[in-house]
Chain A
Amino acid sequence: MSSSISSGGGRRAARNDTPARAASGGVQPLLELRDLAITFSTANGDVPAVRNAHLTVMPGETVAIVGESGSGKSTTALAAIGLLPANGRVSNGSIIFDGEDITSASEKRIIELRGSSIGMVPQDPMSNLNPVWKIGFQVKETLRANGLPSGPQDVAKVLSEAGLPDAASRANQYPHEFSGGMRQRALIAIGLSCRPRLLIADEPTSALDVTVQRQILDHLDTMTEELGTAVLLITHDLGLAAERAHKVIVMYKGQVVEAGPALELLTNPRHPYTQKLVASAPSIASRRIESAKKAGVATDDLLAPAAARGPSLDKVIEVEDLTKVFKIRGNWGRSTDFTAVDKVSFSIARGTTTAVVGESGSGKSTVAKMVLGLEGATSGSIKFDGVDITTLGRKEMFDFRRRVQPIFQDPYGSLDPMYNIYRTIEEPLRVHGIGDAKSREKKVRELLDQVALPSSMMQRFPNELSGGQRQRVAIARALALDPEVVICDEAVSALDVLVQAQILNLLADLQADLGLSYLFITHDLAVVRQIADHVAVMEKGRLVEQGTTDEVFDNPRTAYTQALLAAIPGAGLVLPPEVA
């Protein structure tokens, strides 16, 4: 691997001896972190959170910090604005803003800089607006704190710049009257209201639907471009970072492992961690095909869409005209009907994966609950092997439960913290009275082996396991009864990219080995591309489009699907087929 870019005097030299000023043709960097180290003092002594972090942000440039949870990306950015938690401190290195060393600047000076020179857009739009004050007041507060004119028309101007329609009347509303996207716009308005020269955006859109995320990021791009604001974008999504930033910085376990131009990093990642990250980013190469190849299955068959595999496939689940109406209680016993799922029909062929895709509130999770038999259907039918499960009696329902099992999103909530791993996986066997103590233990060992966990895990408790390990345990529990169908409700959404790739691989391997059928409920189209044979797109309770994955991705027929596809972060990027 050779590159012409870092040839100037070796890596260490390029980093320490050549000031960024020289490298950028005499322009002074807006923000520069030099060998920054941040330490947290905890009950167990000092814990280094960030070490040797080095980064420069030039005026008007967008720089993205990418990393998994716990990599120190947010801590680094918070240090730049002097907002470290009380037990954190900069233990080494310096922070230079516009030529001024602010590492140990006084509280007064930092407050002067905040807002007017460095703005901030926080992560969670739901909790970062004060619910008891009107939006307009919260904008006004920022303007006034920075000594800017703060009349109603100034507030409205700030809000309308951030893309809020009808800003003057919106300013009189409370945060709960805003949707998530609108709240994030309001937060961006506040962050940019004082025309800062640097905006720190900490995962500004991770809580939002993809289409809203795209709108917000597009708007942020346009606004910062117009104002010439530099942006320090913090994200876990490599695709998003590469698409939105000039420069990408990859952090891993508190250290900067690689930094460079977005394209260069994607095509020529040189640190092993970056290479893993690029390889795992949801991409065109379907993991499932790889694992089928490993298992020695003729790949031609699997590469073709499932529907083309011939008519021999029987339908394991057929959903017809499924409808769910919730009664929403109003005042004085009056209630209004809310149709969460509206005449949805689809089917799952045995041994394949069907993905139900939609944004929040599309009714996809309600569909999953009805197929699991946890929620009754208002009308329509769910046929499992030809038998309608909506009319099953108690006894038949109990037997049906063996054949369909769920895996949930939150790895921290899906395991009982009081049960150790052995009891967790054994529970389904015990409930259904399968085998005796000895054979059950053997089965638990087999299951742990299937999900690639050592059997020494059996005595551990969920709180000792990482998110990915917990998700493996949840998969083992779901497989204990040898189900035919597994329903994955956002099963990988809460995991870091590398762990997510591992779990997706595991699911694909298990499908190849055991002939499982998956119903994959997700908002993440990139994941769908990797794992699904069929896709059903839901919007506001209705099924707007379905077909094989290739059909839907290559030829989206409805505008909604097109918008969803276009909104996938990094959709426009093509990654190299193989990363060494």
Chain B
Amino acid sequence: MPEPTPSPLGTAAPTAATPVGRTKRSSYPIEHFVADVDETPVRATDSTVSDAAPRSLWGEAWRSLRKQPLFIISAILILAVIFVALFPGLFTNEPPNENCLLENSDGGPAPGHPLGFTVQGCDILSRVVHGTQSSLTVGLFATLGVVLIGGLIGALAGFFGGWVDAVLARIGDIFFALPLILGAIVVVQLPVFQQNRNVWTLVVILVTFGWPQIARITRAAVIEVRNADFVTAARSLGVSPLGALVKHVIPNALAPVIVIATISLGTFIVAESTLSFLGIGLPPDVMSWGNDIFSAKPSLRSNPMAIFWPGLALSITVLSFIMLGDALRDALDPKARKR
């Protein structure tokens, strides 16, 4: 195509009715088609939205969660577990550690004892019900601690970058390289922990080895949000760096952290049981599913139900938290959001 010299915009006389310049002319006749205006009405440019109720991002997430069977089932299960943990007395009249008669050892279901007896002759139902509290406490507080410490470190590393990031990320990597169980076994040998074995020391140990995962997730989410225009806009309004981090970056980086935290809540309950099973978790006088699974181990062949019931309680609790995490991930997925 020969290239006519283009006249820069504005140099040609604007009054010219006939256009000049480079356009192509087809060798075929082209009809000028105009659609019926009634069939193709032109709406006002950028008309305002309808009168539907305003919806925040959390509101939208809640709306989509409400319809998800996965969420409904897991939420009901979790609420039930929490209820049992708060009011164990409503579910069993038997005290878990007393009235253990050796004549009932490994006994099957009996009137008033629907799930039978442990090897010590204690009521299984009562032990499972009373064990809920410690398992759930460890899971909840370990998750809370991990989110606070890991979230703080991850957010600082991600937001400030540079040497802060380098130092914090390396420290995280060191802890990340230590396997949780192995690390816990070693740390538990320290005299401090030997003398005070209870729910809270276990929480401290789990947080010590669990925070780097949340720190990594938070760091990645914060780095993604940090460069958004709305953060730059806030900075140029005069908001301080820390203010921008707290008011704009962290709220927007929260979604993935919540999802991972929910899932890891389940894994912390498993970790507590594992440590108790290994005999280095909660002391035997504290009721916990892990302790019960440990003590039912020798009688696995003769009385499998003694290990089945605490195991079932543990599985259902962990599964419902993981299911909740999955449901939350779907609801909070930024790709699933409208625009």
Query: Which A positions have Cβ atoms within 8 angstroms of B?
Result: 3, 5-6, 8, 11-12, 14-15, 23-25, 27, 52, 54, 58, 61-62, 218, 221-222, 225, 242-247, 252-253, 255-268, 270-273, 276, 284-285, 372-374, 398, 401-402, 404-406, 408-410, 412-418, 420, 427-428, 431-432, 453-454, 456-457, 459-461, 463-466, 468-469, 474, 477, 481, 498-499, 502, 525-526, 529, 550, 553-554, 556, 562, 565-566, 568, 571-577
Q: Which residue of A lies closest to B237 (CB)?
A: A428
Q: Mark B227-261, 1 if CB is under 8 A from A, else 0.
A: 01110111111110001000010011000000000
Task: Knowing A401-B236, A402-B238, say if A572 contacts B48 (CB, 8 Å).
Answer: no
User: Is A374 within 8 A of B252, CB to CB?
Assistant: no
Residue B186, interface by CB 8 Å:
no
**CB<8 Å pairs between A and B, sample of 28:** A5-B32, A6-B34, A24-B29, A27-B28, A222-B1, A246-B24, A252-B40, A285-B14, A413-B230, A414-B229, A416-B234, A416-B252, A418-B56, A418-B252, A420-B56, A428-B238, A431-B238, A459-B54, A461-B57, A468-B45, A468-B46, A469-B48, A526-B9, A553-B11, A556-B8, A572-B23, A573-B22, A576-B19
User: Is A469 within 8 A of B23, CB to CB?
Assistant: no
Q: Mark B203-241, 1 if CB is under 8 A from A, else 0.
A: 000000000000000000000000011101111111100
User: Is B54 within 8 A of A398, CB to CB?
Assistant: no
A5 to B33, CA, bound (A): 9
A404 to B32, CA, bound (A): 50
A14 to B28, CA, bound (A): 16
A258-B35, A477-B233 provided; 14 other pairs, C-beta below 8 A?
A: A61-B26, A271-B35, A271-B42, A374-B232, A374-B235, A428-B238, A431-B243, A461-B57, A463-B57, A465-B49, A525-B9, A529-B10, A572-B6, A575-B19
Question: 7 closest pairs, A vs B, by CB?
Answer: A572-B21, A260-B32, A246-B26, A414-B229, A401-B238, A5-B32, A572-B6
Residue B103, interface by CB 8 Å:
no
User: Is A413 within 8 A of B229, CB to CB?
Assistant: yes
User: Is A14 within 8 A of B26, CB to CB?
Assistant: no
User: Is A373 within 8 A of B236, CB to CB?
Assistant: yes
User: Is A243 within 8 A of B232, CB to CB?
Assistant: no
A245 to B60, CA, bound (A): 44
- How far in angstroms is the closest Cβ of chain B from A444? 14
Q: Between A and B, how many residue pairs show CB distances below 8 Å?
A: 244
Pick the contact of A252: B33, B42, B230 (CB < 8 A).
Answer: B42
Q: Mark B16-55, 1 if CB is under 8 A from A, else 0.
A: 1111111111101111111111011011011011010011
User: Is A414 within 8 A of B230, CB to CB?
Assistant: yes
Pick the contact of A577: B15, B35, B39 (CB < 8 A).
Answer: B15
A264 to B56, CA, bound (A): 47
User: Is A242 within 8 A of B339, CB to CB?
Assistant: no
User: Is A415 within 8 A of B230, CB to CB?
Assistant: yes
Residue B98, interface by CB 8 Å:
no
- Residues in B neighbouring A464, C-beta threshold 8 A: 49, 54-55
User: Is B49 within 8 A of A460, CB to CB?
Assistant: yes
User: Is B237 within 8 A of A481, CB to CB?
Assistant: yes
Pick the contact of B19: A61, A258, A474, A573 (CB < 8 A).
Answer: A573
User: Is B252 within 8 A of A259, CB to CB?
Assistant: no
User: Is B28 within 8 A of A61, CB to CB?
Assistant: yes
- How far in angstroms is the closest Cβ of chain A from B13? 8
A376 to B15, CA, bound (A): 48
A253 to B248, CA, bound (A): 36
User: Is B9 within 8 A of A571, CB to CB?
Assistant: yes
- Residues in B neighbouring A266, C-beta threshold 8 A: 19
A526 to B30, CA, bound (A): 29
Query: Which B positions have Cβ atoms within 8 angstroms of A?
Result: 1, 3-4, 6-26, 28-37, 39-40, 42-43, 45-46, 48-49, 51, 54-57, 60, 228-230, 232-239, 243, 248, 251-252, 337-339
Pick the contact of A461: B33, B36, B56 (CB < 8 A).
Answer: B56
- The main secondary structure of chain B at its interface with chain A is loop
Pick the contact of A427: B23, B24, B34, B237 (CB < 8 A).
Answer: B237
A416 to B9, CA, bound (A): 39
User: Is B30 within 8 A of A246, CB to CB?
Assistant: yes
- How far in angstroms is the closest Cβ of chain A from B129? 41
Q: Which residue of B lies closest to A412 (CB)?
A: B339
- How far in angstroms is the closest Cβ of chain B from A494? 11
Most buried by A among B6, B19, B229: B229
A574 to B16, CA, bound (A): 8
- How far in angstroms is the closest Cβ of chain B from A16? 11
Task: Knowing A420-B54, A432-B238, say if A457 contacts B48 (CB, 8 Å).
Answer: yes
User: Is A406 within 8 A of B233, CB to CB?
Assistant: yes
Pick the contact of A474: B7, B22, B43, B233 (CB < 8 A).
Answer: B233
Q: Which residue of B lies closest to A247 (CB)?
A: B30
User: Is A245 within 8 A of B19, CB to CB?
Assistant: no
User: Is A276 within 8 A of B42, CB to CB?
Assistant: yes
Task: Knowing A54-B33, A463-B57, say if A572 contacts B18 (CB, 8 Å).
Answer: no
- Residues in A neighbouring B49, C-beta threshold 8 A: 460, 464-466, 469
- How far in angstroms is the closest Cβ of chain A from B19? 5
- Residues in A neighbouring B3, C-beta threshold 8 A: 218
Most buried by A among B6, B39, B243, B252: B6
User: Is A454 within 8 A of B48, CB to CB?
Assistant: yes
Task: Knowing A5-B31, A258-B34, A260-B30, say if A574 contacts B230 (CB, 8 Å).
Answer: no
Q: Which residue of A lies closest to B249 (CB)?
A: A416
- Residues in B neighbouring A62, C-beta threshold 8 A: 24
- How far in angstroms is the closest Cβ of chain B from A411? 9
- Residues in A neighbouring B55, C-beta threshold 8 A: 461, 463-464
A454 to B233, CA, bound (A): 23
Q: Which residue of A lies closest to B58 (CB)?
A: A418
Q: Which residue of A lies closest to B231 (CB)?
A: A416
A3 to B56, CA, bound (A): 52
- How far in angstroms is the closest Cβ of chain A from B66? 15
User: Is A284 within 8 A of B9, CB to CB?
Assistant: yes
User: Is A262 within 8 A of B23, CB to CB?
Assistant: yes
User: Is B32 within 8 A of A265, CB to CB?
Assistant: yes
User: Is A554 within 8 A of B11, CB to CB?
Assistant: yes
Task: Knowing A6-B32, A271-B35, A566-B8, say if A572 contacts B46 (CB, 8 Å).
Answer: no
Task: Knowing A246-B26, A408-B229, say if A573 contacts B42 (CB, 8 Å).
Answer: no
A428 to B236, CA, bound (A): 10
- Residues in B neighbouring A246, C-beta threshold 8 A: 24-26, 28, 30
Q: Which residue of A lies closest to B24 (CB)?
A: A246
- Residues in A neighbouring B40, C-beta threshold 8 A: 252-253, 255, 257, 271, 273
User: Is A272 within 8 A of B37, CB to CB?
Assistant: yes
- Residues in A neighbouring B236, C-beta threshold 8 A: 372-374, 401, 404-406
